[in-house]
Amino acid sequence: MIGEGAHIEFIAWAYIGVTVLTVALVAYVVWDSFRVDARLKALDKAGIRRRSDESKR
Amino acid sequence: MSVDTVKQPNWFSRLAHPGQFLAWSRYLVWPLAIATLLSFAVGLWFAFLNSPEDYQMGDMVRVMYVHVPNAWLSQLVYGVMAVSALGTLVWRHPLADVANKAAAPLGAVFTALALYTGALWGRPTWGTFWEWDGRMTSTLVLLLIYLGIIALWRAFDDQLKAGRIIAIVTLVGALNIPIIKFSVDWWNTLHQPASVFTASGPKMPVSILTPLLVMMLAFTLLFALLQVIRMRTEILRRRAETLSRQAALQGASR
């Protein structure tokens, strides 16, 4: 188990930095995915869709 | 030519067709997300609560559980990009440049995290945050290559043309990977030699190796999850751009 020995601040900053950047990366990837989905839905709403999608309707 | 003699695409080609990829990869997202979360939970439990101090470094060994997985991924992601580059240049595979574009920002973040955690590990153990030695400098070069590739993808409107040029750049940049790997053997360096992936097996006790391997699995699953989502997003983005262009052309011709 981790103690409260020397250099605890280096360990803390390492994990905080990794957590912040990893969460930011995941958030960006998910936000980008939703943004593209929304753009495709807007195009579809405007009647702009692929011919293969129209044939499925 | 009769219909019977037309060569049917093999299973791999069918699986990797962008439309097919969108269809089957959607079933990967949630299982990968759950496996990633579980692996992180187990890995962090090991890292903080169920692993001993190192006899030399003390608790600083716990930084290794985030440093080594990110260093491993910085090179693995580039390997994925190099294989994708071959797919673009040799087989003109439709998903290859999508995979390359999707992976580049992920590789850049993992490399930045490897440098960041390495610096924090280095200060108490070596007495310095940074040293221009072979391992650290070649890893910094890798980060710059990733950033260059991201910038190139953004610089081109024609993504197919960009894919071919970036594939060549990616393969040239791949020369840096063996330099990173063997830098600790070729030059005098502060960085310790390989201690996980060696010909004679890992050089550390099981109590420290276990959390390390679980955290490596967790970060690798995270990469797989983000790569699948980003590839799906890139395919849909290209579809949206094509539709927007077609709509604009139709509007102009009316």
Alpha carbon distance B120, B110 (integer Å): 15
Chain A residues inside the 8 Å CB shell of B236: 36-37, 40
Q: Look at residue B4 and tell me whether its pLDDT is greater than 60.
A: no
Q: Do A22 and B113 touch (CB under 8 A)?
A: yes
Q: Do B70 and A18 touch (CB under 8 A)?
A: yes
Alpha carbon distance B115, B70 (integer Å): 9
Please, how many CA atoms are within 13 Å of residue B204, restricted to the half-sphere of its CB? Answer: 22
CA distances from B209 to A47, B120, B136, B165, B205 (A): 56, 21, 23, 41, 6
Phi, psi of B17 (to 5 degrees): -65, 135
Pick B1 or B254 by higher pLDDT: B254
Task: Give Rg (Cα) of chain A.
Answer: 22
CA distances from B175 to B78, B103, B111 (A): 11, 18, 16
For residue B43, count CB atoms less than 10 angstroms from its CB and return exposed for 0-12, middle for 13-18, buried for 19 or more: buried
**In chain B, % of residues over pLDDT 70:** 94
Alpha carbon distance B73, B66 (integer Å): 11
Q: Look at residue A57 and tell me whether its pLDDT is greater than 70.
A: no
Quick check: B121 and B207 in contact, CB under 8 A? Answer: no
Pick A3 or B79 by higher pLDDT: B79
Q: Look at residue B38 and tell me whether its pLDDT is greater than 50.
A: yes
Interface confidence (ipTM) of the complex? 0.88
Alpha carbon distance B56, B53 (integer Å): 8
Q: What's the whole-number mean pLDDT along residues A25-50?
A: 92
- Mean pLDDT (chain B) is 90
Band the pLDDT of B187: cuts 50, 70, 90: confident
The distance of B26 to chain A (nearest Cα, Å) reads: 13
Check CB contact of A46 with chain B, cutoff 8 Å.
yes
Among A6, A29, A40, whose Cβ lies nearest the Cβ of B236?
A: A40
Q: What's the whole-number mean pLDDT along residues B170-183?
A: 94
Q: What's the whole-number mean pLDDT along residues A32-42?
A: 95
Q: Do A50 and B243 touch (CB under 8 A)?
A: yes
Lowest mean pLDDT among A14-23, B76-85, B169-178, B181-190: B181-190
Q: Look at residue B1 and tell me whether its pLDDT is greater than 50.
A: no
Check CB contact of A20 with chain B, cutoff 8 Å.
no
Q: Look at residue B7 and tell me whether its pLDDT is greater than 70.
A: no
Q: Look at residue B115 and tell me whether its pLDDT is greater than 70.
A: yes
For B135-165, how does the pLDDT look when each residue is reduced to its tens digit (9 = 90+)? Answer: 999 999 999 999 999 999 999 988 888 999 9
Q: What's the whole-number mean pLDDT along residues B119-148?
A: 94
Chain A residues inside the 8 Å CB shell of B239: 40, 50
Band the pLDDT of B191: cuts 50, 70, 90: confident
**pTM score:** 0.90
Chain B residues inside the 8 Å CB shell of A45: none
Q: Which contacts of B137-140 are long-range, i.e. CB under 8 A and separated by 24 or more positions?
A: B138/B176, B138/B179, B138/B180, B138/B183, B139/B71, B139/B74, B139/B111, B139/B114, B139/B115, B139/B180, B140/B115
Q: Look at residue A3 and tell me whether its pLDDT is greater than 70.
A: no
Q: What's the whole-number mean pLDDT along residues B214-243?
A: 96
Q: Do B124 and A10 touch (CB under 8 A)?
A: yes
A–B CB contacts, 8 A cutoff, strictly below:
95
Fold of B28-51+58-193+208-242: Four Helix Bundle (Hemerythrin (Met), subunit A) (1.20.120)
For B60-71, how does the pLDDT look when each residue is reduced to its tens digit (9 = 90+)? Answer: 899 999 999 999
Q: Look at residue B184 and tell me whether its pLDDT is greater than 90.
A: no
Question: Which residues touch B147 (CB under 8 Å, ≥6 apart)?
Answer: B108
pLDDT for the residue B251: 75
